[in-house]
Amino acid sequence: MILNEWYAVLSSNEVKKNKVATVKRLGVDIAFFRDSQGKVWAIEDRCCHRGASLGAGKVIDDELQCPFHGFRYDGNGKVTTIPANGFDTPVDSRYKVRNYHVREVEDMIYLWWGRDYFEPDHEPKVFKDLTSSEFSYMEFSDFWAVHYTRAIENQLDVVHVPFVHKSTIGRGYKTLISGPLVVVTEDRIKFYVMAEVDDGVKKPLHPHEIKNHEKLNALEFQFPNTWHNIVTPDMRIFAAFAPVDEERTVIYIRYYQRFVKTPLLKWFVTLGGIWFSRIVLWQDKRVVLTQVPKYSEYRMNEKLIQGDLPIIEFRKMRARKIEEDENVL
């Protein structure tokens, strides 16, 4: 995993008040809980005393109590109370577990994955278009037995659509892919797709030959693990690819819309959108799970083509981040 980044790891509705949500993310077991003000905290899911799971415990007075011997932890991972020593007895600072910086933005929980001596120097970067209160959304999640890079690259792959999704978003058999025109900033990749039916005469355009790209369907990837499909100005798809470990990923998909505002009708339309999105994702999953290896990297035994430009840019960006990490060591 790339260090010193904010990773989208959980949907807000998975961390409920007075409950502990224990999940594996980025290869470690983490216990998430809310305090009485609703703020989310995240600490290592392993008691420093005898190694019991804190996720099996409970939240008491804004602290997480271990189910084994009652040790209580604050949101910073420090033990505040050891009942066997007396409730009012000060606790030595060595009794603690690792804590993680978290932020809750637009109903997603982001976790800072960095070296212990690195503090976040910025907030999570989100897609501003989705922060409008005019949008309503529904969400589902799906577990994939692949490295999160493979799951991300599937959403950057514009060439597969007429083949994998021929009964859904790939209808029309538009196999001829011009560009894609890719715009890269420091941490974001935005690309525009132009797909046409191959009549045997046309040739795919090079990216610089594409005109009026602003009118085309646009997709965005925000490093390290979120994605945004601007289907229309009033319809969007959002995805977060939460790394479980080196071989597993949980994908969160949200369907956003603002073209229907009547409450009951809005619910039905949004439900239909998320149902359709689930079918599309399952079509992807059937193929992506067959890819080997389960991860991707900048240089590997694949023969890429022009239509893979968004994937190439993602791999370059990730390779640059890895190099930056190594230079810090």
pLDDT, tens only, 14-27: 999 999 999 999 99
Helix (H) / strand (E) containing 220:
strand 217-222
pLDDT (mean) for 158-169: 97
CA distances from 310 to 177, 227, 285 (A): 13, 12, 19
Helix (H) / strand (E) containing 183:
strand 176-184
Which CATH architecture best describes the domain 130-328?
Answer: Alpha-Beta Complex (3.90)
238 vs 217, higher pLDDT: 238
Question: pTM above the 0.85 mark?
Answer: yes
Decide the pairing of beta strands 176-184 and 58-60: unpaired
* pLDDT reading at 192 higher than 70: yes
* Nearest CA-CA partner of 191 in 203, 199, 182, 200: 182
Same CATH topology for 5-113 and 130-328: the answer is: no
d(CA 190, CA 168): 23
Cβ-based neighbour number of residue 305 at 10 Å: 11
* pLDDT reading at 117 higher than 90: no
* pLDDT reading at 131 higher than 90: no
Specify whether the CB–CB gap between 190 and 259 falls below 8 A: no
Instruction: Tell how many helices (H) and how many strands (E) occur in the chain.
Output: 4, 18
d(CA 224, CA 114): 13
Residue at 62: amino acid letter = D
Specify whether the CB–CB gap between 164 and 287 falls below 8 A: yes
Query: Domain limits of the chain?
Result: 5-113, 130-328
Side by side, which strands form the sheet with 28-34? 20-25, 28-34, 40-44, 99-100
Domain 5-113: CATH superfamily is Rieske [2Fe-2S] iron-sulphur domain (2.102.10.10)
* pLDDT reading at 116 higher than 70: no
Side by side, which strands form the sheet with 79-81? 58-60, 63-65, 72-73, 79-81
Pairs from 268-274 (Cβ < 8 Å, separation ≥ 24)? 270/136, 270/137, 270/138, 271/138, 273/138, 273/235, 274/138, 274/139, 274/140
Q: List alpha helices for the chain, DSSP H.
A: 148-156, 161-164, 263-288, 309-328
